[in-house]
Amino acid sequence: MATLTLAKAALRTKIKNILKNISTEEKAEQSANVFKKLCALHEYRCSIRVSIYLSTKDEIDTMSILQHMFETGKEVFVPQYHGNNMEMVHLKSMEDYKTLPLTKWNIKQPNRTEYRKNALETGGLDLIILPGVAFTKTGKRLGHGMGYYDKYLKRCFQNQKTKPYLIALGFKEQIQDDVPTNENDVAVNTVLTG
């Protein structure tokens, strides 16, 4: 277990250093390419209830995807973190997004004191768009180390009859030949890169 933890930490540091050296223009270009690939995916086009992460500067920018989801009438859910848990809660519109407060990680998220529809309590999700630090082409994913998504996905699988389709987004530099994982790490169906 200690070896796995060290291997994950080393890979996170390696990728963090790589991402620091990608220009803002290159990140924007790769984000635009990922957006086009996502829009072409059958699973995305057919999904109605979708959760998406709200990106930071070192992740594929999800703003155009978010906008597209509202334009195409999808029901949008975004992460809301509290303690060691994460829920996916309803986001009404781009205007709603703009009013969200920032967390200590500089990520926008709905305020916990405000009631919002919870995805798992109101019919589940068809599709989940996930961030990550590193991925393999076969769907292995290394997250940021808190286990939020892995724990959430396990709850999702227990609560829904049909598993949601999982799509991870990343820069091409985040694709690795292998990623250290164990039985707690949930693999994704598709990895889209720029």
Nearest CA to 90 out of 70, 106, 71, 72 is that of: 70
Question: If you average pLDDT over residues 90-112, what whole number do you get?
Answer: 89
Model pLDDT for residues 48-89, shown as the tens digit of each residue: 999 999 999 899 999 999 999 999 999 999 999 888 889 999
Q: How confident is the model at residue 146 (pLDDT cuts 50, 70, 90)?
A: confident
Amino acid in the structure at residue 47: S
Q: What is the pLDDT of residue 1?
A: 67
Q: What is the pLDDT of residue 84?
A: 86
Question: If you average pLDDT over residues 103-123, what whole number do you get?
Answer: 88
Helix, strand, coil shares of the chain, percent, nearest 5, are 40, 20, 40
Q: What is the pLDDT of residue 112?
A: 84
pLDDT of residue 117 exceeding 80, the answer is: yes
pLDDT of residue 2 exceeding 90, the answer is: no
